Chain A
Amino acid sequence: DAKTTQPPSMDCAEGRAANLPCNHSTISGNEYVYWYRQIHSQGPQYIIHGLKNNETNEMASLIITEDRKSSTLILPHATLRDTAVYYCIVRGSTLGRLYFGRGTQLTVWP
Chain B
Amino acid sequence: DTEVTQTPKHLVMGMTNKKSLKCEQHMGHRAMYWYKQKAKKPPELMFVYSYEKLSINESVPSRFSPECPNSSLLNLHLHALQPEDSALYLCASSQDPLTRNTEAFFGQGTRLTVV
B contact residues, range:
20 to 34
Task: Contact check, B94 vs A96: say whether CB atoms are below 8 A apart.
Answer: yes
Of A13-21, A42-50, A61-69, A72-80, the one with at least 4 CB within 8 A of chain B: A42-50
CB-defined contacts of A102 to chain B, threshold 8 Å: 42
Bound: A43/B105 CA distance, A: 9
Task: Contact check, B48 vs A97: say whether CB atoms are below 8 A apart.
Answer: yes
Task: Contact check, A46 vs B105: say whether CB atoms are below 8 A apart.
Answer: yes
Quick one: closest B residue to A101, CB to CB?
B42
Contact for B31 among A34, A45, A95, A103, CB less than 8 A: A95
CB-defined contacts of A46 to chain B, threshold 8 Å: 103-106
Task: Contact check, B101 vs A51: say whether CB atoms are below 8 A apart.
Answer: yes
Task: Contact check, B97 vs A45: say whether CB atoms are below 8 A apart.
Answer: no
Residues of chain A whose beta carbon lies under 8 Å from any beta carbon of chain B: 30-32, 34, 36, 41-46, 49, 51, 87, 91-103
Known: A95-B56, A95-B98. 11 other contacts (CB 8 A): A31-B100, A42-B108, A43-B4, A43-B109, A44-B92, A49-B101, A87-B42, A94-B97, A95-B50, A101-B42, A103-B42
